[in-house]
A = this chain, B = another copy of it.
Amino acid sequence: MLTNGGCPKTALSIKDALEALEGRWKLLILFALSTGPLRFKQISKQVPGITDKTLSKELKALESNKLILRTVYDTFPPTVEYTITTHGMSLEKVMEELHYWGLAHRKEIMDRPS
């Protein structure tokens, strides 16, 4: 049985989390940024399959949820870097559990025919 299984208040906080992290890209972008600040094109390379349009939209959503910081350096031409915030780094355990579960899921789906 899950901790607080079915409890409406627990469901609410899970819903909050899922809304902030919605879609298949946000956690992957944060994971890429977890090793250090990156520029747009560098993130794009580390998140295979994402289009520039989607990456741009997702970065804005992550910024508005205080999960990343966008810094513009006064160079010529200007340099823009994205950095994960402390709040973004607090998703470490979520990402770790998703990683372990993803491994188990691949095994489950491949090993047992329906």
Is the beta-carbon distance between A95 and B2 smaller than 8 angstroms? yes
Contacting residues of chain A (24-77) with chain B, CB-CB under 8 angstroms = 24, 27-28, 31-32, 34-35, 46-47, 64-66
A contact residues, total (Cβ < 8 Å): 54
Given A5-B34, A13-B102, 15 other A-B residues pairs in contact with their CB atoms under 8 A: A2-B34, A2-B92, A2-B95, A3-B92, A10-B31, A13-B100, A18-B24, A18-B27, A18-B28, A18-B102, A66-B114, A87-B108, A91-B101, A94-B98, A94-B101
Chain A residues within CB distance 8 Å of chain B: 1-6, 10-20, 22-24, 27-28, 31-32, 34-35, 46-47, 64-66, 87, 89-106, 108-109, 112, 114
